[in-house]
Amino acid sequence: MTYLKYLFSPIEPYFKDFYQPLDSEHKIYYEISGNPDGIPVVYIHGGPGGGTSPVCRRFFDPKKYKIILIDQRGCGQSKPSMLMKNNTTDFLVEDMEAIRKLLGIDKWVLFGGSWGTTLSLCYAIKYPNNVAAMVLRGIYLNRQSDIDWLFQEGASYMRPKEFAKFIEPLGLHERQNIVDSYFERMNFGDEETKKAALAAWCEWECALISMKKIKIDVFKDFKSTAEISYIENYYFKNKGFMPENYILDNVERIKHIPTHIIHGEYDLDCRPSGAYELHQKLPNSSLWMLTNTAHTQREWKIAKKLVEIMQKLEV
């Protein structure tokens, strides 16, 4: 069953621009579509490094919402591609806040998936009074155990064949810290080694996001492959640029914000336990654990539930 049947019809943005912070090479792409006088909602993409795409606009009723899409530093239509100078979680949070002010928005709805939930929660913790509500799909809390699950031991048990391919290029000593070993290859290998590492990282991630094993040609749009692989690896090597357990340790600041949590019970990319832990800490939250469902917003049950929530949302 295709997820697209649950979404709204394609629309085009009525405004596009770049926000350039002072003393920075980064130019952050953002766009606006939908109703100029509607409820402001910002789509916060995953990865980090995933970027947005036209389908992201379609989760929202264009008559009800003022839809803002932002490509985070170094990816999508933001420039330069894969620039990691001044590229940390704090910078991404401040970019969001600067764009909110630029657009004259009082409060907005945060709509994030995967890493987008991490960034949404970090933004809300920093600026709780600027958030009307949160709709979060595929909770990722960015603890060391979450990183290890993805790239060291955990998901490896669920996709053993794909994991074997992922670590095949690494020597035995390199396998002791896979994230660091891939960082070395992506940054200090020859061009062939770098390209192979970027492709292998993306293929492993793609093996975890869907109930059905999907074949993706990572070389078809290698710019996107390179961005998500390189930026993800850079962030995860640096522990997401936040202290251990930062989100759960600071949820007291956001407990008043209406929060809607959607998670697939067979999500191999982001553990369902994280969604449950967050829900337990947020008294003003609702949790939908969807059966026979994995990670991506392209899972039909996830797409359907996201649209349902946005249709009913009142702020």
Task: State the pLDDT at residue 1.
Answer: 58
CA distance 48 to 196: 20
Hey, how many other C-beta atoms are within 10 angstroms of the C-beta on 144?
13
Of 33, 78, 114, 120, catalytic: 114
Q: Which pLDDT tens digit goes with each residue over 139-161?
A: 999 999 999 999 999 999 999 99
CA distance 119 to 122: 5
Of 267, 269, 279, 285, catalytic: 267
Positive/negative CA dihedral, 135, 266, 210, 224: positive
Hey, how many other C-beta atoms are within 10 angstroms of the C-beta on 303?
24
CA distances from 135 to 56, 60, 112, 191, 211 (A): 14, 12, 7, 40, 22
Task: State the pLDDT at residue 182.
Answer: 98
Q: Which of 26, 37, 48 is nearest to 235 (CA)?
A: 48
Annotated catalytic, 286? no
Whether pLDDT at 67 is above 80 = yes
On average, the pLDDT of the chain sits at 97
Of 26, 45, 263, 295, catalytic: 295
Beta bridge partners of 135: 111, 260
Strand 39-44's sheet: what is its strand order? 15-19, 28-34, 65-70, 39-44, 108-113, 131-137, 259-264, 285-290
Domain boundaries, the chain: 3-143+243-312, 145-240
Beta bridge partners of 110: 42, 134
Four-way CATH pick for 3-143+243-312: 3.40.50.1820, 3.30.450.20, 3.40.109.10, 1.10.3210.10: 3.40.50.1820
Task: State the pLDDT at residue 218.
Answer: 79
Mean pLDDT, residues 16-38: 96
The angle at the Cα of 159, spanning 288 to 45, to the nearest 5 degrees, equals 50
Task: State the pLDDT at residue 176.
Answer: 98
Hey, how many other C-beta atoms are within 10 angstroms of the C-beta on 50?
22
Beta bridge partners of 133: 109
Task: State the pLDDT at residue 261.
Answer: 99
Q: Which pLDDT tens digit goes with each residue over 178-229?
A: 999 999 999 999 999 999 999 999 999 999 999 887 777 878 889 999 999 9
Percent above pLDDT 70 for the chain? 100
Tokens of 47: 């990865």
Annotated catalytic, 267? yes
The amino acid that residue 51 corresponds to is G
E strand segments, the chain: 15-19, 28-34, 39-44, 65-70, 108-113, 131-137, 259-264, 285-290
CA distance 303 to 4: 8
Classify residue 175 by burial, with Cβ atoms within 10 Å: 0-12, 13-18, 19+. Answer: exposed
Which residue in the block uniquely carries the two structure tokens 């829900």?
Answer: 279
What is the value of pTM for the model shown? 0.97
Burial track 6-38 (b if 16+ CB lie within 10 A, e otherwise): bbbeeeebeeeeebeeeebebbbbbbbbbbeeb
Q: Mapping DSSP to helix (H, G, I), strand (E, B) and coil, where does residue 42 land?
A: strand
Phi and psi at residue 222, to the nearest 5°: -70, -25
Annotated catalytic, 114? yes
Mean pLDDT, residues 21-42: 97
CA distance 113 to 62: 20
Q: Which pLDDT tens digit goes with each residue over 112-121?
A: 999 999 999 9
